[in-house]
Amino acid sequence: MEVVTALSDLRTRVGSARTSGDEVGLVPTMGYLHAGHVSLVRRARARCGFVVVSVFVNPLQFGAGEDLDAYPRDPEGDIAKLEAAGCDLLFQPSTEEMYPEGEPLTRVHVGLIGDDLCGRSRPVHFDGVALVVTKLLAACDPDAAFFGRKDAQQLALVRRLAADLSFRAEIVGCPTVRESDGLAMSSRNAYLSPEERRIAPRLFAALSTGAELVVAGEREPRVVVGKTLSVLAQEPRLDVEYVEVRDARTVQPLERLDGEVLLAVAARLGPARLIDNVVLHIDGTSVTVDAGEIN
Ligand code: PAF
């Protein structure tokens, strides 16, 4: 695996791969890689001849008072995991490389999708994500870019920005990877104390209860949200930010559950802000639940 830090080197290496006839796959990350990231890299490896992973803790997607300085980092561990997973090129830029003029004046704002759900409590977050993903797609111009479905709102936003800005990359959503007790893998799980770690799987338990109600025939969003909330409320240390059902593609509210439906939760637990979701594929009385996979 080769490691580059300059955008010009990223462009050159990807250009050579393309000249050799390889499809290029991009996996954007912020590092501190876990099994969820590794599964994205493996999916990229299975599909593309040349796999690029970016590791960049993007300051623009952290608001004031958020965890930019505390965000966990493990550059050596990341390299070992990426080599084992078959990454060809690690792009590891500095902040100066990505934002040479300092604070960018250019904004990428994916209105309706970015302002809602997590965007309500993290007002700068999705503009930061949208800008850095735009820069990565522009520099790498991959055939496919791989994102986890755990960040369902981010996935919807990236799909929309890629369509709006006519990037040719296919945006590939990949299953959430879970610990054996159901907790969705996240770099931020490192913030949890042993006691908080014991409580954290309740998010998935609550989503599973909500999903079971839909499988049993419930189609009223208010009822599904209420049942999911009631499971979360049994744990007083969980500070629930939202439970919502939305259209999974547009992230817009639904009057009745039908089609591809996102049931999503965000909650604070000690120092960590946790998010999780399941996607329900509803066609008449038939419901398939996409909850991801256990590692
Ligand atoms: O999901 C992440 O790790 C980040 O939001 C991303 C997509 C790498 C952009 O910084």
pLDDT at 64: 96
pLDDT at 74: 97
Tokens of 188: 């931020």
In this structure, is residue 180 part of a structural domain?
Answer: no
Report field, pTM of the whole predicted structure over 0.85 = yes
Question: Do 157 and 83 share a structural domain?
Answer: yes
For atom 6 of ligand 1, the residue with the nearest CA is 29
In the reported structure, the alpha carbon of residue 234 is separated from the centroid of ligand 1 by a whole-number distance in angstroms of 32
The per-residue pLDDT for range 86-141, each reduced to its tens digit, is 999 999 999 999 999 999 999 999 999 999 999 999 999 999 999 999 999 999 99
In this structure, is residue 146 part of a structural domain?
Answer: yes
Question: Do 250 and 141 share a structural domain?
Answer: no
Final residue in a domain of this structure, among 174, 209, 230: 174
Catalytically active residues are 37
- Rounded mean pLDDT of the chain? 98
pLDDT, mean of residues 74-88:
98
Final residue in a domain of this structure, among 152, 174, 196: 174
The per-residue pLDDT for range 222-273, each reduced to its tens digit, is 999 999 999 999 999 999 999 999 999 999 999 999 999 999 999 999 999 9
Find the domain containing 47 and state its range: 2-174
Q: What is the CATH number of the domain that holds 266?
A: 3.30.1300.10
Tokens of 71: 């965000």
Question: Do 229 and 165 share a structural domain?
Answer: no
The per-residue pLDDT for range 48-64, each reduced to its tens digit, is 999 999 999 999 999 99
C-alpha distances (whole Å) from 49 to each of 15, 52, 169, 287 are: 13, 10, 15, 36
Question: Do 193 and 140 share a structural domain?
Answer: no
Which atom of ligand 1 is least distant from the CA of 187? 3
Question: Do 59 and 13 share a structural domain?
Answer: yes
In this structure, is residue 179 part of a structural domain?
Answer: no
CA–CA separation, 95 and 189 (whole Å)? 25
Q: Is 151's C-beta closer than 6 angstroms to any atom of ligand 1?
A: yes
Burial annotation 107-133 (CB, 10 A radius, 16+ → b, else e):
ebebeebbebbbbeebebbbbbbbbbb
Task: Report angle CA 238, 244, 236 to the nearest 5 degrees.
Answer: 15
Task: Report angle CA 57, 162, 280 to the nearest 5 degrees.
Answer: 90
In the reported structure, the alpha carbon of residue 220 is separated from the centroid of ligand 1 by a whole-number distance in angstroms of 33
The per-residue pLDDT for range 265-294, each reduced to its tens digit, is 999 999 999 999 999 999 999 999 999 999
- Spatial CA neighbour of 147 closest among 159, 138, 161, 139: 159
Phi, psi dihedrals of residue 137, rounded to the nearest 5°? -65, -40
CA–CA separation, 40 and 184 (whole Å)? 14
Burial annotation 181-197 (CB, 10 A radius, 16+ → b, else e):
ebbbbbbbbebbeeebb
Q: Is 133's C-beta closer than 6 angstroms to any atom of ligand 1?
A: yes
CA–CA separation, 113 and 160 (whole Å)? 9
Question: Do 250 and 163 share a structural domain?
Answer: no
The per-residue pLDDT for range 160-213, each reduced to its tens digit, is 999 999 999 999 999 999 999 999 999 999 999 999 999 999 999 999 999 999
Final residue in a domain of this structure, among 115, 148, 174: 174
